[in-house]
Amino acid sequence: MRIIGDGFLARNLTDAFGDRFPGVTAIASGVSSTATTAPAEYDREAGLLYEVLDECRSAGRRLLFLSTASFSLYGFTDDAVSESGPLRPPTTYGRHKLALETVVRSSGVEHLILRVSHAVGRHQRPHQLLPTLVRHIAEGRVTVHQGAHRDLLDVRDLVHAVDRLLTDGVCGEVVNVASGVPQPVESIVTAIEDRLGVRAHRVHRPGPAAVTRASVERLRRLVPDFRAATADEDYLGALLDSYLPYYTAQSRDRAVLPSR
């Protein structure tokens, strides 16, 4: 697999696949934050996609394009939203990703589009949600937006889904890849505290219930064993048990870096 990018998802794809799927190009490089508003950042990602599509077309390669299954695309939902549902992305980031999906689908290039929720795991950047929560809780003070939820996805489950979809030759599809279990941020904080043996001071920011539910029905139909080993109610605990030592070590390493 040719993997474009050097960030969190790119490094996990590289670790997992190496020389496997030699006819696939994966774009794991793009705007890194859903809060980005700078047009130049979006232009850069669009330009990269156009260039890669041209290369795939001329070489007969399949494109794996990673999009988003977050609030930025689906907004807040009462019910699980399928990939084929009507969309009105509420943010610039979401509208950008949807526009790029349209470019991919109309390109004539063999492709697979994966809408990924909040993936977590090794190689994650310190500014992202889970490393930030771990660091702030360890420091004794954490801000919690009441009502906020996040669908946390173990990056190993993402890798498994990619492996199965590519092995089975799935093509021309848009697939949500999410845990399907949005977690209250309050519960995430409590679970981290329990494992660290601390209680941080919580600064609460009031707000309504904020939940994005991406349907995983299509994913489970295509990948029947997706997350089969872990029950929904155990998923958050299993994820934290796997990665909390990594995040705490990451936090300690940042704390000892010399100031500049």
pLDDT in tens, 187-217: 999 999 999 999 999 999 998 889 999 999 9
User: Would you state the pLDDT for residue 259?
Assistant: 46
Cβ atoms within 10 A of the Cβ of 257, count? 7
Q: pTM of the entire structure?
A: 0.93
Residue 69 has pLDDT above 60, yes or no: yes
Query: How many angstroms separate the CA atoms of 54 and 243, rounded?
Result: 38
pLDDT-derived band at 102, boundaries 50, 70, 90: very high
**What's the one-letter identity of residue 171?**
C
Residue 227 has pLDDT above 90, yes or no: yes
Q: Which residue has the tokens 């960030």?
A: 7
Mean of the per-residue pLDDT values of the chain: 93
- What DSSP string runs through 20-49? SSTTEEEE--S---TT---HHHHHHHHHHH
User: Would you state the pLDDT for residue 135?
Assistant: 94
1-14 pLDDT, tens digit per residue, is 999 999 999 999 99
Half-sphere CA count of 113, side-chain side, radius 13 A? 22
18-38 pLDDT, tens digit per residue, is 999 999 999 998 776 776 778
Maximum CA pair distance of the chain?
57
Q: What is the mean pLDDT of residues 92-119?
A: 97
pLDDT-derived band at 254, boundaries 50, 70, 90: low
User: Would you state the pLDDT for residue 229?
Assistant: 87
Among 202, 163, 167, smallest CA distance to 186 is for 202
User: Would you state the pLDDT for residue 251?
Assistant: 67
User: Would you state the pLDDT for residue 22?
Assistant: 97
Q: Give the DSSP H/E element, type plus range, for residue 203.
A: strand 201-205
Cβ atoms within 10 A of the Cβ of 17, count? 18
Residue 50 has pLDDT above 90, yes or no: yes
User: Would you state the pLDDT for residue 200?
Assistant: 97
Query: How many angstroms separate the CA atoms of 151 and 174, rounded?
Result: 18
Would you state the structure tokens that stand for residue 111, as one six-digit string?
Answer: 């492709």
> What angle do helix axes 232-255 and 185-196 make, rounded to 10 degrees?
60
Residue 43 has pLDDT above 60, yes or no: yes
